[in-house]
């Protein structure tokens, strides 16, 4: 190589280095502003230019953690460790991603490695301590189950009729059958950040559980001729945005039926208010207000993302246990108008799944890590045909051909699912055969996204109704999560 050629090569390498640094700075800025999908795109461009740069992988991994795509976060952190086995940030990212999935032993292994590499890091030590606590808790619970000493369901152990409502209580008073007036009073009471008496909370939980128990795991709902039906996605504890949905789209009624498609709780710090309102609505309108289960209606997610801490703060551990019991009875899906399959996450690792098989699933349990129930709660669509490992680390990614095959096999025309933030509040995929709807605008006070709901007519044709976030009291997301700082809150 001549001197001129060597100089040119050095200059090109310097230019590439400057471009990578520029992209990294741009990605960092986008991340700080909460634009995580855009930050991922920029970090990916930088990685393509410099595939040996560990910082780019750990930065992109953190973006994936924020977006709950923990499978991709794990892959990026693992790549960084392959490049540099002493990269402390990479072990942090692995620990955080595994914690997000509730895999505490794996998280502990990686936080322990981070502490070994950086012994004086107080943050790593705190995270390791939390992992140890969770691992011991899991071991204790398994030991109790193995010994046959499991506590009876809360619904059998709590004696609601003995709970006295004090004369000093100034909130709404519940008598049965529940009335629309009570539900309206309840929502206004909760809007004012006041507590419903715990006796009434238990009564609503008991009645809602009795109603849900009677449903199959996938239920059928008709759309009356000439009528409409509204389907909403994730609300994630954003109570004031839920009330705004009812303001702009009408309050639930026999003439204005709704389905909410899971993930009522966690992240947002008004999760109790959201889910109690929804269960009260279910008691009032059992045939016109419908609920399906999301992946966050589970103990593992609730421990990580705030609902457990919130209910214990506002009420008690017993109250949280009762919610967990009710969550286990939430149906896993719905067939609307005989043509639209509604499910929180997505489709399946098998081609031969039928609606009858799904209707018969045993759902009264915590979600397993694999199988049909897990896939219904966790899976996501992908643009390419076929199936791929899940970007979340649970469930799978499925292509448009999988969607088409499922619809044809079961005589359906559309899949509606939720489970993912969308900038417009909804997104159409799979050649129009699949729609994602997400109803938590400006998710976690960070994402800047619109919220949306889908309004179906009696021919199962739909249109989207979009809305922006509304103000709420100054309580930050993840306020009650024991490890909220892990996710940047």
Q: What is the pTM of this model?
A: 0.90
8 and 113 together in one domain: yes
In a domain, 197, yes or no: yes
Write down which residue in 145, 177, 198 finishes a domain: 145
Q: What is the pLDDT along the chain (489 residues), one digit of tens a residue?
A: 555 554 444 344 555 889 999 999 999 999 988 888 899 999 999 999 999 999 999 999 999 998 889 999 999 999 999 999 999 999 999 999 998 888 899 999 999 999 999 999 888 898 899 888 888 888 887 777 666 666 788 999 999 999 999 999 999 999 999 999 999 999 999 999 999 999 999 999 999 999 999 999 999 999 989 999 999 999 999 999 999 999 999 999 999 999 999 999 999 999 999 999 999 999 999 999 999 999 999 999 999 899 999 999 999 999 999 999 999 999 999 999 999 999 999 999 999 999 999 999 999 999 999 999 999 999 999 999 999 999 999 999 999 999 999 999 999 999 999 999 999 999 999 999 999 999 999 999 988 999 999 999 999 999 999 999 999 999 999 999 865 545 444
Strands (E), 64-135: none
We report the CATH number of the domain holding residue 38 as 1.25.40.10
342 and 475 together in one domain: yes
Note the pLDDT of residue 68: 87
Say how many domains are in the chain: 2
Residues 6+ apart with CB under 8 A from 382: 388, 397, 398, 399
Specify the long-range contacts of residues 444-450, CB closer than 8 Å, at least 24 apart.
Answer: 444/236, 444/267, 444/268, 444/477, 444/478, 444/489, 445/476, 445/477, 446/34, 446/477, 447/34, 447/36, 447/421, 448/34, 448/35, 448/423, 449/421, 449/422, 449/423, 449/424, 449/425, 450/423, 450/424, 450/425
Note the pLDDT of residue 151: 73
Note the pLDDT of residue 221: 98
Q: 22 is in which domain, residue-wise?
A: 3-145
In a domain, 228, yes or no: yes
Active-site residues, by number, are 296
Write down which residue in 124, 145, 166 finishes a domain: 145
Q: Is the dihedral of CA 272, 273, 275, 279 positive or negative?
A: positive
Write down which residue in 145, 170, 193 finishes a domain: 145
335 and 435 together in one domain: yes
Contact 339, 365 (CB under 8 A): no
93 and 236 together in one domain: no
140 and 179 together in one domain: no
236 and 304 together in one domain: yes
């Amino acid at each position: 190589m001549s001197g001129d050629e060597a100089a040119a090569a050095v200059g090109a390498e310097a230019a590439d280095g400057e471009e990578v640094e520029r992209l990294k700075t741009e990605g960092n800025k986008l991340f700080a502003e909460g634009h995580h999908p855009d930050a991922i795109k920029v970090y990916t461009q930088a990685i393509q230019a410099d595939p040996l740069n560990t910082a780019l992988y750990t930065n992109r991994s953190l973006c994936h953690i924020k977006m709950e795509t923990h499978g991709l976060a794990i892959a990026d952190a693992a790549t960084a460790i392959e490049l540099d086995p002493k990269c402390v940030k990479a072990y942090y990212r692995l620990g955080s991603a595994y914690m997000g999935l509730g895999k505490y032993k794996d998280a502990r292994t990686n936080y322990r490695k981070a502490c070994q590499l950086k012994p004086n890091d107080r943050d790593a030590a705190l995270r390791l301590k939390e992992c140890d606590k969770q691992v011991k808790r899991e071991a204790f619970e398994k030991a109790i189950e193995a010994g046959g000493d499991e506590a009876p369901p809360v619904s059998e152990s709590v004696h609601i009729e003995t709970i006295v409502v004090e004369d000093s209580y100034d909130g709404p008073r519940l008598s049965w059958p529940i009335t629309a007036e009570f539900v309206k009073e309840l929502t206004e009471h909760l809007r004012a950040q006041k507590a419903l008496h715990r006796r009434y909370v238990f009564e609503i939980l008991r009645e809602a559980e009795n109603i849900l128990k009677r449903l199959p795991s996938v239920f059928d709902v008709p759309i009356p001729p000439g009528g409409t039906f509204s389907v909403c996605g994730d609300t994630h504890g954003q109570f004031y945005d839920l009330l705004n949905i009812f303001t702009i789209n009408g309050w639930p009624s026999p003439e204005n039926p709704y389905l909410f498609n899971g993930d009522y709780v966690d992240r947002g710090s008004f999760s109790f208010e959201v889910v109690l309102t929804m269960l009260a609505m279910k008691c009032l309108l059992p045939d016109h207000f419908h609920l399906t289960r999301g992946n966050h209606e589970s103990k593992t997610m609730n421990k990580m993302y705030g609902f457990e801490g919130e209910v214990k703060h506002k009420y008690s551990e017993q109250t949280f246990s009762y919610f967990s019991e009710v969550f286990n009875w939430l149906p896993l899906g719905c067939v609307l108008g005989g043509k639209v399959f509604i499910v929180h996450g997505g489709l399946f690792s098998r081609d031969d799944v039928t609606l009858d098989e799904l209707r018969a699933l045993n759902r009264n349990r915590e979600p397993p890590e694999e199988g049909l129930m897990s896939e219904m709660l966790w899976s996501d669509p992908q643009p390419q045909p076929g199936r791929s490992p899940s970007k979340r680390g649970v469930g799978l990614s499925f292509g448009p051909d999988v969607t088409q095959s499922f619809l044809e096999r079961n005589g359906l025309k559309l899949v509606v699912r939720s489970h993912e933030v969308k900038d417009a509040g909804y997104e159409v995929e799979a050649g129009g055969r699949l729609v994602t709807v997400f109803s938590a605008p400006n998710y976690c006070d960070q994402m800047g996204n619109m919220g949306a709901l889908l309004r179906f007519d009696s021919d199962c044709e739909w249109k989207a109704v979009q809305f922006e976030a509304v103000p709420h009291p100054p309580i930050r997301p993840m306020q009650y999560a024991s490890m909220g700082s892990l996710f940047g809150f």
